[in-house]
Structure 1
Amino acid sequence: MQHRGRHRRRRRGRALRASLAGTALALTAAATLISTSQAAGGRTPGALSSITSAAELRGLQLRETLTDRAELRALTDDMGGPVGVDEVLASANHAMRDESDCFDSEQDNLPVEPVASRAYCWEPGDAVDDRWIPRSVTTSRDNQVIAAGWTHSGAESGTPDADGGSGADDSGLARVAFVDAADPANLRYRWVLLVVPTADARGFEGLRSRLGGMAWYEDKLIVTARGPESRGGQDDSLYVFDLSRFLRADVTDSEAIGRADDGWSAHHYRYALPAVAAYHPAAGEGCDARGDHDGAACLGSLSLDRTSIPPTVVANERSRPGDEEPARVWRYSLDITADRTGLLTTTGRRGAAVATEAYETEASGVRGVLAHKGDWYVDQSAEKPDGHGTLWRQDEDGADAAKCADGGPSGTSGSDLESYACWGRDSASLSYSPATGELWTLTDPIPERVLYAVKLNDVDSSLN
């Protein structure tokens, strides 16, 4: 009995040691998981999930409304005829600063990994003007012109200058900086007010928009904006502008928009750009910012995918950091027929533009989206204030992002852990330029507003 007891005690000892070893392994695994989670700077969004629900896809449908051509022609003639991009650029009256002239606080917003191929900062007056917020960027095909969209915050600080007024009534007005980028060492820009033609005596009114996204295809500029049924200042529509039809205002000392007593005014701006088409939610209701996916989507940003056939505009749903609901990303086909180039492809008698591809992403706080050669690039905002964001490359198989030292390039946090938070701070919107292979974006906080580019090949080679 004593012999059998010793064997039982030995077996119990081995079982106890095995149990302790298992516990140690479990603790080690848990520590590894915690370390991995910390190294990731938060969980990855994983793979994109295809949206197949007919109801959800219907919520992404837009209905086309075209500006009356005869009325637009009459307005243009009354204002002295159409103006092209070349004249606007030739009159550029603002100069951008290159990276070496940017302040440290501005340069701190640049990405850690991969590094920017070039960067520019705005003229000092625009860099600190809290009335206007930079939201989006796009480029011409040859990258000779960069367009940056800004929206009015409604703030009343500052005084009107030669390029815009101020006041709460201006909230949501949209202007675009057309930047002459032909000489990379000497970027200059001119402000242009976006307007919508009206049937009354005013002739046109200011477009209201967060201007979270823009896409430039051929001679058309497509932007996100508020539709007539918009709720809570959300962008739920797309507006299209013809870049061969700028209007020249002859009254520049008035805050009026449209016909003034002695001519035409564009709110102190020399040039206005009128919409030629609009696309509103097909259901006739504004978007729902709650993100329950039952209705129209609140548009966050927009970009152009030239690699799809036909070319498409890619949109993402506006979302906030920490949102538990997934955000939608999707695309609309562009028309390539001669008389409709740059408009959305529509079907049926009611002119419906339908999403040709749609996914859900688990990334929260999505600030921009780009599709290129089948991959989706998603700009996710920082998890903590003043932190760097993350640029994910996603598809239906998973997600990848660059890693860098936690705390920035100098490891200021004192940690040896790595983080996915390597993209720029407070970046907004993404745009790809095929002529240079660069991915463009910009940042919006004062006084850290930067326009910069990163080689897309560098983005891909930095992914883990």
Structure 2
Amino acid sequence: MYLTYILPLLSFVLPDLASAAGWKNLDPSKYTLRESAYYKDRVDPLAAVLPNRNVSSLLADANHANPLKSPPGVAHVVDSFSWASSSDFDDFGTTKWYPQGITGSHDAEASGLYDSSVLLVSWHSDKYDDGKRGARVSFVDRSDPSKPKYRHALLVYPNTDANGKPSFRGIKLASDEKGLHAGGMVWYGDLLYVVDTLKGVRVFDMRCILEVDDSGDGIGYVGDGKYQAYGYKYILPQVRSYTPPEEGFRFSFMSLDRTVEPHSILIGEWSPTRTDCRLARYDLDPSTHLLATSSSKIATASEVLQHPHTDIQGAIRIDGKKYFLTQSTKNLDAGSLITWTKGADNDRVYKGALMKGPEDLSYRRDGDGGKKELWTLSEHPGRRYVYAVDVDAF
């Protein structure tokens, strides 16, 4: 009888306390983003020559199953799955693509549904083909949580080819840089926000999912009326951007807080050594799903916080006051979860509470009074899981 009661306690992860002295409020007026116009001259001609599919049709065309596997060693897991792995297709172990960002229909709509229950995961190809393939997004269909399935779509930049035909390319940043790292994402309404490490935020539109020829490995217009996207069947062309006035802030990850109004996105920096990284929060306009801007199309942060932690891969604010951060922990074959509440004297550091290589964060509430789920994912080959932990356990 004694063991019956004591054994369940072994799964709990007890926190270390660290001084919160390193948390500081910074002047938010210094953190601005300029909103571009909609890329009408590039997106509309492309959408006119390619079939436009919605989220439902893409999900109906899902071509890989997500195995229902739970991340080993992680406590308080309430939901989880992994990635397809076979002799001819291996997202679980590939070194060509690395998963990074996470968001879902629970972020997009208050109902939690956008055509269906969907999770999105971004992947980068920095170490593959010189990064020129950029980033892709996995659409995971969770209409039946016991049988999740998915399909990838390539994020692309719309342009015109040498002959003036509508075309596109993978999002490679510059000739001397790798491709789009896509370290974090937020899906809000019809829009998908993706961070660009040095350049700000790129925006895509779920109403503009275009189908291309998946029989070849070309990119853009390849002749004979055909368009290809490195073998992918679907593309999401970028439709606008938000850029900082100058480089200096690293746009490493991103999350949404729709638990309080105004809804807002939180953008944070990663560094393996700095103890002054920042979190900047920008309010959203629920009528347009764009960032709230001035008449001159400038979005100014509503809050900026400095924190003392290194190796932060994801952060989120819940209920307007409690912050959760994922950390790749040095000298530990696991990841950590850090929590801080405004006004508290201490951080709580749950060392080893997550899988090694934890990334972005997304919060999902399962209905009124239902489970509070904190979703994250792990990036390392052979150890890739997408999972939710119980928010109330931390």
Contact map agreement 1:327 1:361 (CA 8 A) in 2: yes
Displacement after TM superposition at 1:199 (Å):
4.4
Q: Decide which structure has greater strand share.
A: 2
Task: Show the counterpart of 1:301.
Answer: 253
- Is the alpha carbon distance of 1:47 and 1:399 closer, same or farther for their aligned partners in structure 2, counting shifts above 3 Å? farther
Aligned positions of 1:18-417 closer than 5 A: 43-46=18-21, 48-52=23-27, 57-58=29-30, 60-69=31-40, 71-80=42-51, 82-99=52-69, 107-108=71-72, 110-112=73-75, 115-124=76-85, 125-141=90-106, 142=112, 144-155=117-128, 167-168=129-130, 170=132, 173-200=134-161, 201-207=165-171, 208-225=179-196, 234-249=197-212, 251-262=213-224, 263-283=226-246, 287=247, 296-320=248-272, 323-337=273-287, 341-349=288-296, 351-374=297-320, 375-401=322-348
Q: RMSD of the TM alignment (CA)? A: 2.2
Q: Distance in 2 between matches of 1:169 and 1:71?
A: 23
- TM-score normalised by L of structure 1: 0.71
DSSP-derived class of the 1:77 partner: helix
Aligned-pair distance for 1:169? 5.1
**1:253-309 CA deviation, whole Å, 9 max, x = no partner?**
3322211112111111000011121011123xxx3xxxxxxxx31111000110232
> Distance in 1 between the 2:146 and 2:15 partners?
37
Verify: 1:433 aligned to 2:364, yes or no. Answer: yes
Distance 1:305 1:215 in 2: 10
Counterpart residue type for residue 276 of structure 2: P
How far does residue 44 in structure 1 lie from its aligned partner after superposition? Answer: 4.6
Offset of residue 397 of structure 1? 2.6
Report if aligned partners of 2:45, 2:166 keep a CA contact under 8 Å in 1: no
Per the TM alignment, residue 41 of structure 1 is displaced from its structure 2 partner at its CA by: 6.0
Is residue 46–residue 394 contact of structure 1 (8 Å, CA) maintained in 2? no
Match of 1:424 in 2: 355
Runs of at least 4 residues off by over 4 Å: 39-47
Q: What is the Cα deviation at residue 327 of structure 1? A: 1.0
Cα separation, 1, equivalents of 2:335 and 2:62:
33
CA distance in 1, matches of 2:216, 2:307: 46
Structure of greater Rg: 1
- On the 8 A contact 2:18/2:348 being kept in 1, the answer is no
CA distance in 2, matches of 1:41, 1:381: 16
Q: What is the distance in 1 between the residues matched to 2:324 and 2:17?
A: 18
Deviation at residue 46 of structure 1 after TM alignment: 4.5
- Could you tell me how far apart the structure 2 residues matched to 1:256 and 1:271 are? 13
Provide structure 1 residue ranges, at least 5 long, that are not aligned to the other structure.
Answer: 1-38, 156-166, 226-233, 288-295, 404-419, 460-464
Deviations, residues 18-61 of structure 1 (Å, cap 9, x unaligned): xxxxxxxxxxxxxxxxxxxxx97684554631102x7xx42x31
Q: Deviations over 1:51-100 (max 9, x none)?
A: 02x7xx42x311111233354222112113x210000000000101112x
Equivalent pairs: percent with the same residue? 27
Question: What CA distance in whole angstroms lies between the structure 2 residues aligned with 1:76 and 1:325?
Answer: 45
Residue pair 2:357, 2:379 contacting (<8 A) in 1 also: yes
Q: Deviations over 1:167-216 (max 9, x none)?
A: 22536x10000000111110000000011222443522222411110011
